[in-house]
Chains A and B, each alone.
Chain A
């Protein structure tokens, strides 16, 4: 039975697709006939021309408002001055609507002039429709957990990565920026860490219906300047996004089956709107600086520290290599190296233009964007991004056939130094010599100074071109039945190079271009998707049944070529592989991923009061071996709008109340391709003229899906006509059958093995969002949005953990993201050496027995408080983000106290003589091996971990709407990371990549004009 149609496969689907296209073209012709026919028919009926002006509450004209005759397709759009005309019949009802306003209906009743004042849509819940991926749902009727941010919030942030725009604005979504270097990546976690594998926690990203592979495309060896490999998600331009929806619970994500476990991020790009052609353009210029510098020793303190260290070590004859204090370097010179190396100003320029418009049937949008960002490092480095988005949609006159096409193309170019200067900026002795000689060349101070600017000689360059195309065709057979085909195509091309030119080395070594090297990586990724879907609805009893049936065919191919070349004839030929005396291919691989699914949704809505939603999906993925490829996923969600019950219907306080709950199973197949195969791959490395072959991995053909059972109960309540709206959700997700690279002892030849483990990880939490309209006056309004998440991650079950390979890494009942560390017991007042608790009292500090202190690195709670204030033509938006967490503290940046590296000023408070109680130990240059060993252990103790909670003014924006008649003009000031309140003493509490440039503080000013 199952095998009947196997061979029809894809080709049959293509035929179906062609038929569809053909059908639509002919149908368009047929429609034209009926248009003429309708027109002649209508002329015979008496109608009147109505005109008027549409204004808002302040009396300002509302341009682009639509005026539609209810229950017809006929409509009109208001002009810039708010005026409109429309022909209608006396009995018609006109519906006036505009974005951001409550719509209004008026009976024509022989009026010739109808002036309308639209009210600001403060309580938008009634009208808000959420994109749930395969279907849309009204916010008030949803059964699942969906967060949304809209263009209005996204546009007000001076950031280039769309992930940054979500930070602090969504409950349950934890986003951290990994570096302040432009083009760097973000870490995103939706409702915690589900998978034991770090890489297995990425959400699914879908752009206009097309899944977008977010996994990094470059190679790790190529980008030492970035702490994590960047994701191609940076291609998406925030200013072209209409909305971002995040699906969290089973009800919303189960329809994505095996890819929904970690949540789904849906990105919808802007579409053209009906109305006159509108042109808008904006330009802004920003400046970025490092948020804060660490407070380090100045020269006299530093010199004193070093001298004391040698005195402690009993060394009177300062060794020749201690250039900082043996007289080689000027002992009075002072340079603030952080200021010198990281004190620059990054210039951020952003230009955007868009043209859009259309008729009731055809709408278009064409927008372009250019962004340029320099760095805080000395030198000419920068990031550039340009993109174009075209969007076209057409609906036939009878509204039966709709087609939408959108094509986005992005080109990014990033040009950065090979190495981040952060670590050296905090460690170079403050009396180190000048960077440049008088003649402008780098100063190596007679070979005693490892000039930090050498790091700028090597370049890391990325060129990433990316196209996403999407077409949706739908046909409405009857009012109840709709066929829809969603097709998508993405292609991406990444070129990365890293140069290590000989100029990175001290010229005294006499190394020429024959020592220069280049790492070049080229990667492409291409994918297509076809998703035919059938929507059907029917009124049954007092309720409405909606059904969706669909199927997915998806294929992704990638390939990557990484080459290493060295020995160039000249440094100016360093990008030319042909000029290298040796070229080696490190990676040359291709991968294919195929995915197929069949999904369904059944929704029954009884009088908009009781709603049940069932979703299901059967998924097959090529990432698993034969017999393990298919699995089923499902969810059930229900909602009860209790405010519609008779008792509460007329309540003056409670204006909206809903209780919803969901339960279901989702999965994860994020394990990379071909992991089930036992095979050999090329090493790319030569031995006596032969390029080697090596076993690719320890193989395990048996592994299957990871399953994630999600449960949620939520209460949504609106009070006082929804001026206060509170959503409280409790969730409990359990991931089991953990698919993981199980750590193995090195004696197996590898350090991990992919397998399904009988472990269960639980993520539970409470999410609260509170939206309040604090003040709502004609000229002044103030709206607040607060969200907060208390989340707890816990390893629930792990049979036989004691004898497993995880015995000493995980603890049942504790989160996954823990570290077992020594307990720091302070500096020994007698010896001045760090001491730690010897838990088993055996007189020695040993890892297993004595690292018993557990530190949880998950945030305890996090969230944001967003405010929007409007006064006449002024608007002020600001967002405070807060996180309660711990992290490795500033100590992790610094070398041994007393050695030839700078230290934070706190080190002044160190042990000096017997009896001293001090937080920092005895100073040593390294000869005191006990102190050195204790110093290393310190990093593995809770002494190096401290509170890293913070409250940050993440984003602020002030907009002035210049009151002009003819066109709109907005002036805006925006800021990012402006203020931080924290006790943390490291570079930045927000981010976790010690030794890398933290996120910048950005100020930006701009103007936006539209007409």
Chain B
């Protein structure tokens, strides 16, 4: 090679040299570039699809979206979903409201057979989604707290709603799991070691928070369709909490606050209109996910041909209705295949409609009359109690109650709640527990029932991850 290059090709070799120079410079550049790790290069911008946590609470629209996301979660998953994994369906099967016909592998089977075990994934899902909803509520509370630009009325609105949601979820959790952690922060360090809090303290916290929310929330309905809780939704929940806690006077007073607000809330006399989304008896309901959609309840409970794909109304409940009870006609439906027939809850009647007709109602006047009746009965004000109870009976086409004594009246109220509130987020289960008659009633009709079934197991994985949650509920 050297021989070739040595003579008369000076120009070429000169060229070669200049090329080499250029290349050498380039190499140097690359190496220098490489050796100085430029931090800039590895920093990426936040994608368009995400917002920083702080940014969300500086604007009303995004802050609102953070709050409504919680309602959509409540509607779609966890305790209050109308789907088959929510309390309406599960506790219906767990008690004497529903019979389960679905696939044996379906987790509802374990509820129906009262054979829950601590590793049941449905139970875990109830627990996790509830605390996820509580986390989101706490995040709203903290976000609003740290917000600089959000106007005071929006802050109050969001804070009130978040407190309401936090209280509501804790209330249901406490009633199915017993003593549970009461979570008021987003700090995971603290929350991962949370301890179980006794029921009376939970009720105390719920009441304090709701009383604060009552002051923060407006009387009017900012959504115009009752899908955002207002002051009266807090009163309604307070009425229920006080009833469960045995604070009868407060239960009466909270229920009365709502019942007296007749400019907003009117008792709907037509059974077929109680569950329509425009019903004026509704205090708080959950908006459907789709404009043309209705409730998940209708998807879960309704069927048009037998056998039932999931659950049907239990024969015990079906047979228990008094003759002439219009609710049996208007709120249930019979499906027959010619030889066998089944009934299903038919409070929510519509599935896919052009525009939505029904929303999933969480609080309605019917319950408040019954709360008032029960609390008054406990206070010995029997005639006032009967009056409230008769509101419900009369609408159902039944005569006034014949109960005379306090015991009789309370029994009549329990019975009435059964027919009025069936498959609405597990009222039956909670009522039987409150009346202390769960053992006697359910052991009659549920072969798998035993005394320990009054509480669900704490999800096994939770106990594994947080030793502060031990001991497990009895029997699991």
Contact = CB atoms under 8 A, between A and B. Distances in A.
A896 interface: yes
B211 interface: no
B37 A748 contact: no
Interface in A735-782: 743-751, 753
Given A447-B307, A896-B104, A620 B47 contact: no
Nearest to B460: A847
B425 to A, nearest CB: 19
A646 interface: no
Interface in B435-461: 447-448, 459-461
A509 B305 contact: yes
Interface string A545-579: 00001110100000000000011000000000000
Interface stretch (A208-216, A682-690, A783-791, A973-981): A682-690
**Size band of the interface chain A makes with B:** 35 or more
Contacts of B303: 509
Nearest to B128: A746
Chain B CB count within 10 A is highest, among A2, A8, A749, A847, for: A749
A620 B42 CA distance: 6
Contact of B53 (A26, A678, A929): A678
A937 B136 contact: no
Nearest to A809: B464
Given A683-B69, A690-B68, A846-B476, A477 B38 contact: no
B34 A551 contact: yes
A12 B52 contact: no
Nearest to B62: A693
A995 to B, nearest CB: 10
A932 B115 contact: yes
A679 B51 contact: yes
Given A744-B188, A895-B104, A936 B66 contact: no
B297 to A, nearest CB: 17
A746 B461 CA distance: 9
Residue from B27, B127, B228 with most neighbouring chain A CB atoms (10 Å): B27
A100 interface: no
A43 interface: no
A747 B183 contact: yes
B84 to A, nearest CB: 16
A630 B39 CA distance: 9
Contacts of A553: 41
A23 B26 CA distance: 11
B239 to A, nearest CB: 25
Interface in B337-377: 337, 339-340, 352
Contact of A745 (B39, B42, B192): B192
Contacts of B305: 447, 506, 508-510
Contact of A16 (B26, B36, B134, B466): B26
A749 B52 contact: no
Interface in B65-93: 65-66, 68-73, 75-76
A8 B30 CA distance: 11
Contact of A2 (B36, B139, B459): B36
B391 interface: no
A749 B4 contact: no
A257 to B, nearest CB: 12
Nearest to B109: A926
Interface string B155-189: 00000000000000000000000000101001010
A594 B38 CA distance: 12
Given A590-B47, A679-B50, A895-B104, A936 B110 contact: yes
Interface in A825-848: 844, 846-848
Interface stretch (A80-88, A299-307, A800-808): A800-808
Interface stretch (B117-125, B320-328, B413-421): B117-125
A448 B459 contact: no
Contacts of A807: 464-465, 467
B42 to A, nearest CB: 4
Given A16-B30, A678-B53, A592 B192 contact: no
B447 A929 contact: yes
A805 B192 contact: yes
Interface residues of B, number: 115
Given A596-B41, A744-B188, A692 B337 contact: no
A688 B19 CA distance: 69
Contacts of A693: 51, 56, 62, 65-66, 69
Which of A508, A679, A937 counts the most chain B CB atoms within 10 A?
A679
A620 B41 contact: yes
Interface in A686-723: 686-688, 690-696, 698
Contact of B66 (A598, A692, A743): A692
Nearest to B138: A749
A748 B131 contact: yes
Interface in B22-54: 22-24, 26-27, 29-53
Given A41-B4, A677-B50, A6 B290 contact: no
Interface stretch (A90-98, A174-182, A621-629): A621-629
A807 B72 CA distance: 34
A690 B33 contact: no
A4 B32 CA distance: 10
Contacts of A651: none
A567 B293 CA distance: 10
Contacts of B138: 749
A745 B469 contact: yes
B253 interface: no
Contact of B34 (A532, A589, A629, A748): A532
A233 interface: no
Given A549-B34, A690-B64, A896-B104, 19 more contacts: A448-B307, A509-B305, A589-B47, A596-B42, A674-B46, A679-B50, A679-B52, A680-B50, A693-B69, A694-B69, A749-B183, A750-B188, A807-B465, A808-B463, A809-B464, A846-B118, A932-B109, A932-B113, A936-B119
Interface of B: 4, 9, 12, 15-16, 19-20, 22-24, 26-27, 29-53, 56, 61-62, 64-66, 68-73, 75-76, 101, 104-105, 109-110, 113-115, 117-119, 124, 127-128, 130-132, 134-136, 138-139, 181, 183, 186, 188, 191-192, 194, 223, 225, 227-228, 287, 289-293, 303-307, 337, 339-340, 352, 447-448, 459-467, 469-470, 472, 475-476
12 contacts: A12-B33, A13-B30, A551-B30, A567-B290, A618-B37, A692-B66, A745-B192, A746-B132, A750-B188, A751-B128, A846-B118, A932-B113
